[in-house]
Amino acid sequence: MGSGSSYPYTIYHEKLVLHLKIVDINSLFLHEEIIPEMLEQLFKSIKEDKVIRHPVIVDEKSLVVLDGMHRVAALRRLNCKRIPVCLVDYSSPSVTVGCWYRTIKNGPSIDEKFKEITRLGFELKKKNNIEEDEIGENSIIAGLKTFKASYLIRRPFKDMKDAYDYIKIIEEGLKRLNLKVEYETEIDAFKKLSSHAVNAVLLTPKLSKENIIKTALSGRVFAHKATRHVIPARPLYVNVPLSLLSSENISLSEANEQLREILTKKKLKLIRAGSIIEDRRYEEDTYLFED
């Protein structure tokens, strides 16, 4: 690991190579929508810090952002022309795509409130067992599991972006009934349901890498929390100054040379998966750049 000729800094993880680089911010493609409240909070934080702490994760071939949509949007709002990225080979089997299942809670008589789904124009059909692979097929946009029953939620859709737009409509409808909707991994969602920590789980369709890339390159974006990318490792705390990213007086190659100098002066520390860093649990290994 360390600096190389074609990239300012490269980390050779056992499962994936991570290339760190500064790129033109307008060369990137987002694949999920931006949430205004999240953007505002991050914008203020980055502006106050005067640095971007973590690089966004980007597919090297397509330049589609896999993780870090709001950081891209915040830097654009801060008039940054460049952004630090961690380039990965998205086609690698070590990079996987999971789902964010929606957990639903608050209420006695919560099953009664699910009639709102049919009022929104969706068919709610009871089924004994839901196969996760059938979600996203044959007009099935989602599944719903409660303590008492399981349902398929149907409505014809053109493509997976369309399906997730419908899921967003369902989420917003449930929130209007004062139900609390949160996002969990598939495993954690069912753990919470079995322990009665939540009242129900909304099962969402799994997206393919090809679908994600195709949609992003077309200029369209999925609803928030459509994808959960699991990457074997990610770098943290590159701490690149905003002045380097916004300056009109240096070229992109000069910015990358400065990035090389910044990173080679730091120590790199590997933290294994499952560790908690700043109140967040990371499913993947992390590489911390330390002064």
Listing DSSP states for the chain in one string gives -B--SSSSEEEE-SS-EEEEEEEEGGG-B--BPPPHHHHHHHHHHHHHHTEE-SPEEEETTT-BEEE-HHHHHHHHHTT-SEEEEEEE-TTSTTSEEE--EEEEE--SSHHHHTHHHHHTT-EEEE-S---GGGTTSTTEEEEEEESS-EEEEE---SSHHHHHHHHHHHHHHHHHTT-EEEEE-HHHHHHHHHTTSSSEEEE-PPPPHHHHHHHHHTT--BPTT--EEE-SEEEE---EEHHHHH-SSS-HHHHHHHHHHHHHTSEEEEE-TT-EETTEE-SSEEEEEE-
Alpha carbon distance 165, 239 (integer Å)? 35
Torsions phi, psi for 230 (to 5 deg): -110, 115
Q: What is residue 24's predicted lDDT score, i.e. its pLDDT?
A: 98
Judged against a pLDDT cut of 80, whether residue 158 lies above it is answered with yes
pTM of the predicted model as reported, rounded to 2 decimal places: 0.93
Task: Say how many residues make up the chain.
Answer: 291
Q: What is residue 108's predicted lDDT score, i.e. its pLDDT?
A: 61
More confident residue, 5 or 178: 178
Q: What is residue 112's predicted lDDT score, i.e. its pLDDT?
A: 76
Q: What is residue 221's predicted lDDT score, i.e. its pLDDT?
A: 98
- Whether 104 and 174 have beta carbons less than 8 Å apart is answered as yes
b (16+ CB within 10 A) / e for 34-57:
bbeeebeebbeebeeeebbbbbbb
Could you give the percent of the chain with pLDDT greater than 70?
Answer: 97
Alpha carbon distance 23, 63 (integer Å)? 10
The token pair at 59 is: 């597919």
**Do strands 267-271 and 285-290 pair parallel, antiparallel, or not at all (unpaired)?**
antiparallel
Could you give the percent of the chain with pLDDT greater than 90?
Answer: 87
- pLDDT, one tens digit per residue, over 174-218 is 999 889 999 999 999 999 999 999 999 999 999 999 999 999 999
Domains and CATH numbers, the chain: 9-95+213-290 (3.90.1530.10), 100-205 (3.30.1760.10)
- pLDDT, one tens digit per residue, over 91-143 is 999 999 999 999 999 866 677 778 889 999 999 999 988 998 999 999 999 99
Task: Indicate the pLDDT class of residue 3, thresholds 50, 70 and 90.
Answer: low
Mean pLDDT (whole number) for 52-69:
98
- pLDDT, one tens digit per residue, over 25-34 is 999 999 999 9
Q: Which of 109-118, 174-183, 234-243, 265-274 has the lowest mean pLDDT?
A: 109-118
Task: Indicate the pLDDT class of residue 2, thresholds 50, 70 and 90.
Answer: low
- Whether 180 and 192 have beta carbons less than 8 Å apart is answered as no
Q: What is residue 107's predicted lDDT score, i.e. its pLDDT?
A: 67
Q: What is residue 280's predicted lDDT score, i.e. its pLDDT?
A: 81
- Whether 286 and 236 have beta carbons less than 8 Å apart is answered as yes
Query: How many C-beta atoms lie closer than 10 Å to residue 191's C-beta?
Result: 13
Q: What is residue 115's predicted lDDT score, i.e. its pLDDT?
A: 86
- The average confidence (pLDDT) of the chain is 94
Q: What is residue 191's predicted lDDT score, i.e. its pLDDT?
A: 96
Alpha carbon distance 248, 81 (integer Å)? 8
How are strands ordered across the β-sheet holding 200-203?
123-126, 150-154, 140-146, 200-203, 101-105, 180-184
Judged against a pLDDT cut of 60, whether residue 5 lies above it is answered with no
- Rg (Cα) of the chain, in Å, rounded? 21
